[in-house]
Chain A
C-alpha cells in the first residue's frame, strides 16, 4: 500500500449524525487539518450509520480505533491538535459508558456494540458508501462472482432456501420459497424488486443500509436476478429518503460503469441492470402489490392476492419482491454458506435482525442482533436501559402493525414465532422503548391516527373501520369514553383483521389489541375514572400519586 496517510478518519454521515451537525463538524475538521498541514497525511471518509445515533455526531480515528462522540465544530481544533498532532486521546470527547460514566476509547468496548452481531450492517459505518473499491476490499462481489462462476441458478436458490432466510419486511416469508416460485415461472421477462419504502414510525433500517452500504443491495439483487432468471431490477425508495436515493443512484451508476451491472457481468454472459424508483409518500406503498402498482405508474393501492407477485407481479410478470434488509443478507449467505448462516439466530428464525432502537432508551440507535436475543437484552444491555431513572413500561415492536409488550414479557426472544405468540410481531425492525410517562391508550390512538391517515381508502373496513376506531379512542383520550367502548373497539378490531383487503388494514388493530391485552386497566381508568395515569391525555385529570384513590 502506498497510501501516505497516517490516520484514517471515519465520519459518520448517517442521517442522524448529519442532522445533529456533522456537516459543520466536517468543515471545521477540514479547516483544522489544513491549519496543521495534515491534509495529505489524514484520509477522511464519510461512512454510513455507525449505529450509536444517540451519541452523534461520531468520528473514529484509525488506526487507533478511538471513537469521539457528540462532536461540535468547535471541538475539531482540539481534536486535531491533541490526537493527530500530539498523539494524545482527547478524553473529554470520548463516549461515556452508560453504566459507569467512564470514558470509553473504542466503540467496540461499549456493551452497545459488544453484544451486537453485525452481518447485514458489516460495512455500514466502516466503508465509504460511494466507493466500490472499499466495498470489494471487504469481500464485496465475492458472492456474485461465486454464484456466476461456480453455481447454477438452481443452486443459488437452494442455498438461500437452505439458509432459512425469512423476509425482513415483517411477515417472515421464507425467501428461498419466493425465489424458487419465481424461478419456476415460465413467463419472461421477470423482475427483481427491492422494497425500500420503509414507513413505520421511527424505523430507519433500510435507510441506513442504503446510505451506508448500497452495493450490498445491488450485489444481492443481481444474485437474485441470476437465480430466478430476471435481467431487470427496481428499487422502490420512499421520497423522504433523498440521501439514500442519491447514494443508491450513484452506486448503481458506478456499478454499471464498472461492469458490475450491465449486459455481461464478470464475463459470465449474465446481464442484469437496475433502476431506482421513488415513492410519493404513501405508507401503503410498502405493501407489495401497492408498491408494484406505484412502480407501474398506477395509483399506489393494493390489490387482492392471489395472484401473488411471484406469478403476476410487476407489469403482470413474475417478480421477486424482497425488503432491502432481506437482500442484504444474501451476499453473506453465499460467501459463508448456508450452514454458517444458520449458526446465527434460532432454528426457525436464522440470522440476525436490525432494529431501530428508539424512544425512552439511553442508546438510541441502529442495532443488529442475532435472532433469539431477548427483548430484555436489547433494551437494557444494548440499549442501556431507561434514561432519567424512569420505570420501564413497555416495548413497542413491529411498527404500525406491531404490538406493545409489558415488563412480564421482556424475556420474549425476537423470533418470528415467539413475538406473535406474545401479541406483537417482528415487523420491519422498529423498536420503541416506552417508560412510565407513556399513556398506552394515547399510544394506540396515535398508531390508529397514523394508519387512518395512511389508509389508501380502497376497501371499506380500512377506510371507515379505522376511522371509527380512532374516533372512539379520541373520545376516550378526551375524557368522553363510555361503557361499551372497549367492546366496540374489539368488535372493530376483529372486523378489520378478518375483512380488510391488505395487510395494512388487517394488522391495523394490532397495537390497540396488545395494549388492551396488557394494559386494559389504563383504558378502564380513562373511561370510568377519567384518569390518565401517565398524565398524557390533556383532558383528563393529572396523574395521581401511586396508591392514591380517586374520589
Chain B
C-alpha cells in the first residue's frame, strides 16, 4: 500500500509506514536531524527535524511521524524554521568545548547545521557540563562536555551491536550518557568497536588520537618505521578528501604514506593471505579430526579477525572460545612477521622497528596492546591509526591527496592477493577461505563466477552458504561428498543470534562462521570516515570487490611472498613457528560480578587449546 501526500507543495507517493523524513527525501527535500541514524529506531530527542503538518497543533518530528494519505507537510514553514533554529541555538549554547580546537571542527554536524541555519547570536546563556574526558580505553575518548544528548550512540550500541553499554543517567540538565553505570568505559563490557564514534554528530566520542605518537616515531632517526594498511582503508580514505564513497585510492594512499616518511609501505593484505593459510588449515584440521579421526573437535569454527568480535566473545560468550580460531588477526600476524622475518631480512633490530597500522577500526587500538601480542619479543604492532586519523595526518603534512600519483606497495610484506582485499567486506573472509580451502582439497578452482560466493555477499545480517566437496584429492578423502556449511554475520546483534544458534546445538550444522563486529564488515568499521549509511557501505563494498577482481592473483595460497615466508621461515601452516607467532589464546574476560552466567550454559573452558 502506498500513500499520497504533499511535502513543501511537492506531491509524493511513498509506501505506507514511511517516515516524513524519508518521504521528504523522496521529494528531494532534506530535513536536517541530529539524532536520527538510518537503520536504527530514531530516538526522537533532538527535535531538529520538526515539520508542520496541516491540522496538527504541534510540530511533528519528521524522523518519527509517518506519512499518511492526504497529509500536507511543510518542512520550512515559519513555525518549523523558528523551532529548528531555536533548538540548534539552545544546543549550541549548552555545548561545551572550543570549536577551533575540536577534532570535529569543520566536520561537525552541529556546526554545519548552525551555519546552514545562519545562527549568529546565542541569546540564551546555558550551563555547560564539566565532566572530564574519559580516556580510560586505548580505543576511544569520550568528552561529555561536548555531548548534545542526541542518543545516537545509545541507539547504535543497543540496536546494531546489541551491547547496550551506553545509557542516559541522571535527569534533565544533569543527564549524561554514561557507560554501564560506571564513570569509565574501561570498567565496562564495552567492546571498543567505535560504532558510537561513527555516529556521534559532534566531538563527544572519538577515536583516541595516536597521530602524535606516529609523528614522534617518524621524527626519531634511530627508528625504522613501517606501515601496514588494512584492506578497508583503500575504499574509504578518499572520503576524507571529499571523494565519493567507494573511490579506490590504493595508489595515492601508498604515495601519501611514503611522503609522510614511512620507511616502507606494506599491506595488511599480506597478513590476510597468511591468515587464510593458517585459518584454512585450522578448519581442515578440525574437520579431519572429526570426520576422519572420529574425535570431537570444536566446530563450527569462528573467524578471529575482528577484535571487536573477539572482545564480545570473551566478555559475553566465553563458553564459545573453544570454537574460536586460534589465529591472530591479519594485523597481528603482520606485526609478528615484520618484527621477526622482515627484521632479520633487513637487519633492523626489532626494538628499533616501529610497526604502524592504518585500520578502519578503533578496537584494533586495543588489540595491539593486548599482553599476548608480543610474540616477536617486543610489541608486534606499535601504533594503530584509524582511517580518520590518517586523513588528518595527510592533511596536516600538506599533502595534496587528490593529485598524488599512484605508488606501489613495497616487497615483501606489501605483496598480496585479491582474496585479502575482500577481508574488508562482510563475507570476504569466508570467500577468501573457500577459494583456498576448495582448491587445496580438490585441486580445482572454486567453481563460482568470478570466484564470488554470492550468498555471503551483501548486507543481509546473517548469511549462509553451502559448498559440496567432490572429487577430492587422496589426502582429503574424508571430505569426499561432504557439504561444507558456512555462515556469515556482521554487527554484534546479528553475531549474538548466530551464537545463540550454536549454543542451541548448531541445528544448521554450520562448519565455519565468519563474524565481523561492525555492520558491513571492516568497510563500516568504527574508525572509518563519517558519515556511514547503507549506501556508503554498499559503495565501499563494491570498490573492494573491484579491487579484488582487478588483481592478477586472487587466491591467498598463490601469494608468492607468503609462499616465500613458509619456505624460508615458518615451515608449514600450523607448524611450531606459526603456532608461536601467528596463533594465540583467548580468555574468559567476564567480570566475576555482577553478571552471573545464564544457568543453561555449560561452564566455559578457561582458554581454548590450539588445535
Select A457's contact among B47, B50, B87, B173, beta carbons within 8 Å.
B173
Check: B135 CB closer than 8 A to any chain A CB: no
Q: How far is A153 from B45 in the complex, measured between Cα atoms in Å? A: 39
Are B47 and A461 in contact, with the CB atoms below 8 A? yes
Check: B505 CB closer than 8 A to any chain A CB: no
Check: B64 CB closer than 8 A to any chain A CB: yes
Are B171 and A456 in contact, with the CB atoms below 8 A? yes
Task: Give B66-112 interface residues, CB cut-off 8 Å to A.
Answer: 79, 82-83, 86-87, 90-91, 93-94
Can you list 27 pairs linking A and B with CB atoms under 8 Å apart? A299-B167, A304-B64, A452-B172, A452-B173, A453-B171, A457-B170, A457-B172, A460-B45, A460-B87, A460-B149, A461-B83, A463-B175, A464-B91, A465-B86, A467-B127, A468-B90, A468-B126, A488-B124, A491-B86, A492-B86, A495-B87, A498-B50, A498-B79, A499-B59, A500-B47, A501-B45, A506-B58
Contact digits for B141-176, partner A, Cβ 8 Å, 1 yes 0 no:
000000011010000000000000001101111110
Are A455 and B172 in contact, with the CB atoms below 8 A? yes
Check: A282 CB closer than 8 A to any chain B CB: yes
Check: B125 CB closer than 8 A to any chain A CB: yes
Are A467 and B59 in contact, with the CB atoms below 8 A? no
Task: Give A439-466 interface residues, CB cut-off 8 Å to B.
Answer: 452-461, 463-465
- A458 cross-chain contacts in B, Cβ below 8 A: 43, 45, 149, 151, 168, 175
- B44 cross-chain contacts in A, Cβ below 8 A: 303-304, 459, 501
Check: A497 CB closer than 8 A to any chain B CB: yes
- B200 cross-chain contacts in A, Cβ below 8 A: none
Task: With A488-B123, A498-B79 as known contacts, state yes or no: A457 contacts B175, CB within 8 Å.
Answer: yes
Are A455 and B47 in contact, with the CB atoms below 8 A? no
Select B126's contact among A464, A500, A506, beta carbons within 8 Å.
A464
Number of A residues near B (Cβ < 8 Å) is: 32
Q: How far is A282 from B170 in the complex, measured between Cα atoms in Å? A: 11
Select A299's contact among B93, B149, B168, beta carbons within 8 Å.
B168
Are A459 and B45 in contact, with the CB atoms below 8 A? yes
Task: With A459-B47, A495-B82 as known contacts, state yes or no: A464 contacts B93, CB within 8 Å.
Answer: yes
Select A455's contact among B59, B94, B171, beta carbons within 8 Å.
B171
Q: Across the interface, name the chain A residue whose C-beta is closest to B52.
A: A498
Q: Across the interface, name the chain B residue whose C-beta is closest to A501.
A: B44
Check: B246 CB closer than 8 A to any chain A CB: no
Q: Across the interface, name the chain B residue whose C-beta is closest to A464.
A: B90
Q: Across the interface, name the chain B residue whose C-beta is closest to A283.
A: B171
Check: B489 CB closer than 8 A to any chain A CB: no
Shortest beta-carbon contacts, A-B, top 3: A457-B175, A468-B124, A464-B90
Task: With A456-B172, A459-B45, A459-B47 as known contacts, state yes or no: A499 contacts B167, CB within 8 Å.
Answer: no
Check: A471 CB closer than 8 A to any chain B CB: yes
Task: Give B30-71 interface residues, CB cut-off 8 Å to A.
Answer: 43-48, 50, 57-59, 61, 64
Are A471 and B47 in contact, with the CB atoms below 8 A? no
Are A498 and B59 in contact, with the CB atoms below 8 A? yes
B residues sitting closer than 8 Å to A (CB atoms) are 43-48, 50, 57-59, 61, 64, 79, 82-83, 86-87, 90-91, 93-94, 123-127, 148-149, 151, 167-168, 170-175
- B171 cross-chain contacts in A, Cβ below 8 A: 282, 453-457
Q: Across the interface, name the chain A residue whose C-beta is closest to B65.
A: A304
- B126 cross-chain contacts in A, Cβ below 8 A: 464, 467-468, 471
Q: Across the interface, name the chain B residue whose C-beta is closest to A472.
A: B124
Closest CB-CB distance, A421 to chain B, in whole Å? 15
- A471 cross-chain contacts in B, Cβ below 8 A: 124-126
Closest CB-CB distance, B179 to chain A, in whole Å? 15
- B90 cross-chain contacts in A, Cβ below 8 A: 460-461, 464-465, 468
Known: A457-B175, A458-B43. 16 other contacts (CB 8 A): A304-B44, A453-B171, A457-B168, A458-B175, A461-B86, A461-B87, A461-B90, A463-B173, A465-B86, A467-B172, A468-B90, A468-B93, A495-B86, A497-B58, A498-B57, A498-B79
Q: Across the interface, name the chain B residue whose C-beta is closest to A284.
A: B171
Q: How far is A500 from B57 in the complex, measured between Cα atoms in Å? A: 12
Q: Which of A453, A455, A458 has the most CB of B within 10 A?
A: A458
Q: Across the interface, name the chain B residue whose C-beta is closest to A453.
A: B172
Q: How far is A492 from B85 in the complex, measured between Cα atoms in Å? A: 12
- B82 cross-chain contacts in A, Cβ below 8 A: 495
Q: Across the interface, name the chain A residue whose C-beta is closest to B86.
A: A495
Are A499 and B172 in contact, with the CB atoms below 8 A? no
Contact digits for A506-524, partner B, Cβ 8 Å, 1 yes 0 no:
1000000000000000000
- B57 cross-chain contacts in A, Cβ below 8 A: 498
Task: With A460-B87, A464-B94, A468-B90 as known contacts, state yes or no: A498 contacts B58, CB within 8 Å.
Answer: yes
Task: Give A283-317 interface residues, CB cut-off 8 Å to B.
Answer: 299, 301, 303-304
Q: How far is A77 from B126 in the complex, measured between Cα atoms in Å? A: 61
Task: Give A53-84 interface residues, CB cut-off 8 Å to B.
Answer: none
Q: Across the interface, name the chain B residue whose C-beta is closest to A299.
A: B168
- A498 cross-chain contacts in B, Cβ below 8 A: 50, 57-59, 79, 83
- B94 cross-chain contacts in A, Cβ below 8 A: 464
Q: How far is A471 from B124 in the complex, measured between Cα atoms in Å? A: 9
- B93 cross-chain contacts in A, Cβ below 8 A: 464, 468
Q: Which of A458, A460, A465, A497 has the most CB of B within 10 A?
A: A460
Q: Across the interface, name the chain A residue whose C-beta is closest to B94.
A: A464
- A461 cross-chain contacts in B, Cβ below 8 A: 47, 83, 86-87, 90
Q: How far is A285 from B87 in the complex, measured between Cα atoms in Å? A: 24
Select B61's contact among A282, A304, A452, A456, beta carbons within 8 Å.
A304
Q: How far is A527 from B44 in the complex, measured between Cα atoms in Å? A: 37
Q: Across the interface, name the chain B residue whose C-beta is closest to A456.
A: B171
Q: Across the interface, name the chain B residue whose C-beta is closest to A495.
A: B86
Q: How far is A488 from B127 in the complex, measured between Cα atoms in Å? A: 18
Closest CB-CB distance, B281 to chain A, in whole Å? 48
- B86 cross-chain contacts in A, Cβ below 8 A: 461, 465, 491-492, 495, 499
Q: Across the interface, name the chain B residue whose C-beta is closest to A300.
A: B171
- A464 cross-chain contacts in B, Cβ below 8 A: 90-91, 93-94, 124, 126, 173
Closest CB-CB distance, B40 to chain A, in whole Å? 14
Closest CB-CB distance, B60 to chain A, in whole Å? 9
Q: Which of B59, B91, B124 has the most CB of A within 10 A?
A: B124
Q: How far is A195 from B289 in the complex, measured between Cα atoms in Å? A: 63
Q: Which of A301, A456, A461 has the most CB of B within 10 A?
A: A461
Select B46's contact among A282, A456, A460, beta carbons within 8 Å.
A460
Q: How far is A499 from B79 in the complex, measured between Cα atoms in Å? A: 10
Q: How far is A460 from B147 in the complex, measured between Cα atoms in Å? A: 12
Q: How far is A506 from B50 in the complex, measured between Cα atoms in Å? A: 14
- B48 cross-chain contacts in A, Cβ below 8 A: 460
Are A499 and B87 in contact, with the CB atoms below 8 A? yes
Are B58 and A457 in contact, with the CB atoms below 8 A? no
Closest CB-CB distance, B128 to chain A, in whole Å? 12
Task: Give A405-461 interface residues, CB cut-off 8 Å to B.
Answer: 452-461
- A303 cross-chain contacts in B, Cβ below 8 A: 44
Closest CB-CB distance, A412 to chain B, in whole Å? 22
Task: Give A91-122 interface residues, CB cut-off 8 Å to B.
Answer: none
Are B58 and A463 in contact, with the CB atoms below 8 A? no
Q: How far is A468 from B45 in the complex, measured between Cα atoms in Å? A: 18
Task: With A304-B61, A495-B82, A499-B58 as known contacts, state yes or no: A467 contacts B47, CB within 8 Å.
Answer: no
Q: How far is A355 from B61 in the complex, measured between Cα atoms in Å? A: 36
Q: Across the interface, name the chain A residue whose C-beta is closest to B175.
A: A457
- B43 cross-chain contacts in A, Cβ below 8 A: 458
Contact digits for A23-41, partner B, Cβ 8 Å, 1 yes 0 no:
0000000000000000000
Closest CB-CB distance, B192 to chain A, in whole Å? 24
Q: How far is A500 from B86 in the complex, measured between Cα atoms in Å? A: 12
Q: How far is A35 from B171 in the complex, measured between Cα atoms in Å? A: 55
- B45 cross-chain contacts in A, Cβ below 8 A: 458-460, 501
- B173 cross-chain contacts in A, Cβ below 8 A: 452, 455, 457, 463-464, 467
Q: Across the interface, name the chain A residue whose C-beta is closest to B34.
A: A460
Closest CB-CB distance, B608 to chain A, in whole Å? 36
Closest CB-CB distance, A354 to chain B, in whole Å? 28
Q: How far is A73 from B383 in the complex, measured between Cα atoms in Å? A: 79
Q: Which of A282, A299, A461, A464 has the most CB of B within 10 A?
A: A464
Closest CB-CB distance, A133 to chain B, in whole Å? 44
